[in-house]
Structure 1
Amino acid sequence: MTKIIGLTGGIGSGKTTVAKMFSEQGIPVYIADEEAKKLMDLDEIIEEVRITFGNDTIVNNKIDRAKLAKIVFNNAEQLKKLNKIIHPAVQKHFKDWLKIHYSAPYVIKEAAILFETNGHKQCDKVITVVAPQLLRIERVILRDKSDKQSVLQRINNQWSEEKKIMLSDFVIENIDLEKTKTQVDDIIKLLNKI
């Protein structure tokens, strides 16, 4: 039975960078956020978003992600509604993906809101990536061309690092890439024993 290793971390922590490090070692990696973005192009998801958030969120039969982001990132209740639409579709997609990788001893499932959606309960182990908040804000501003206030709002919509660490089996401090790589290698050695 293939083991599922959850990989999570707050926005800007560098979990995608860490996921790539695992992938480079030949470990199958599922990036939930990337798959969720692709699934948002499915007709049934578009229709559910239209019904839940209104016609304004759909432009040329596609979800207007900027409009939808404005609605959900400032409102925890609206974010919950969106997750109820997207999360089951991602779960089903992940199960299908897992069937393809059944021969791997373990796979990495990278998800930003792994704990918030109780996704950690389907994992055999969980890795949380952490970094100082100022560095995280800096990274997101550079990556998304956003402002400090909107990054802070997104951070506040996620669980705190402390809460995630308490429920994690491994913690990677992602400040210096070389040190991060060493931590990944150490975790791979431990995972190869389970």
Structure 2
Amino acid sequence: MKIVGLTGGIGSGKTTVAEMFLALEIPIYIADVEAKALMNRSKVIRRKLIQLFGRKAYSKQGLNKAFIASKIFEDKSLLEAMNAIVHPKVGQHFKRWLKKQNAPYVIKEVAIIYEIGAEKEYDVIILVTADKTERITRILSREGMTKSKALAIIKNQLPDEDKMQKADFVINNEDLVETNRQVLKIHRELLNA
């Protein structure tokens, strides 16, 4: 079974593209969702994140996402340290999930494939892109997001131009009809490969 990486900067529309593949009955693993769940569920991750960020990393409700976000986007070394704690656990969870799938290929949506040097984990990588202005507009529609936070996140991610040179497929996600056409074309190619 092929493992297809689906990546792209924040606000590029990875989730929209993932939903289009899901409509084609392709199993989708969204690493960010699973990472957040594991950060709340795993006692080992919880202990290590408290060591890294302090007690404010968690509240009575669970992971203090706003606090952690404010720290990691000001300090890239904290982001890298957090990724080193969380990503191996997400990888283990993905392997267990993968064993349960029965499809010609699966998609693992990961925002930072290239940033963490994980290209070798995938048979194929699809990059989702969108105009920076459009991305910022999409990001600002999220709860608690400001333009400065959005720009800080974008700055911490590898530029699309760099990722485009490495990706097997690039989907420009600005018009949904055209995006869906691109998804169908890639889907057919993956089935026939």
TM bracket, shorter-chain basis = over 0.9
1:1-194 equivalent positions in 2, closer than 5 A: 2-41=1-40, 42-60=42-60, 62-101=62-101, 103-194=102-193
Alignment partner of 1:40: what SS?
helix
- How far 1:104 moved relative to its partner? 1.6
1:137/1:63 Cα in 2 relative to 1: closer, same or farther (>3 Å)? same
Name the CA distance, whole Å, in 1 between partners of 2:54 and 2:144.
27
Q: Root-mean-square deviation (CA), in Å?
A: 1.1
d(CA) in 2 for partners of 1:118, 1:32: 15
- SS of 2:192 mapped into structure 1: coil
Q: Which runs of 5+ in 2 are unaligned?
A: none
Aligned equivalents of 1:125, 1:167: Cα separation in 2: 10
Q: Is the 8 A contact 1:13 1:136 kept in 2?
A: yes
Counterpart CA distance in 1 for 2:127 and 2:34 is: 20
Size of the alignment, in residue pairs?
192
**Aligned structure 1 segments of 4 or more residues deviating by more than 4 angstroms:** none
Task: Read off the aligned partner of 1:44 and give its amino acid letter.
Answer: V
SS at match of 2:141: helix
User: SS at 2:142's partner residue?
Assistant: helix
Unaligned runs of 5+ in 1: none
How far off is 1:179 after superposition?
A: 0.5
- Residue 144 of structure 1 aligns to a residue in which SS? coil
> Is the contact made by 1:126 and 1:170 (CA closer than 8 Å) also made in structure 2?
yes
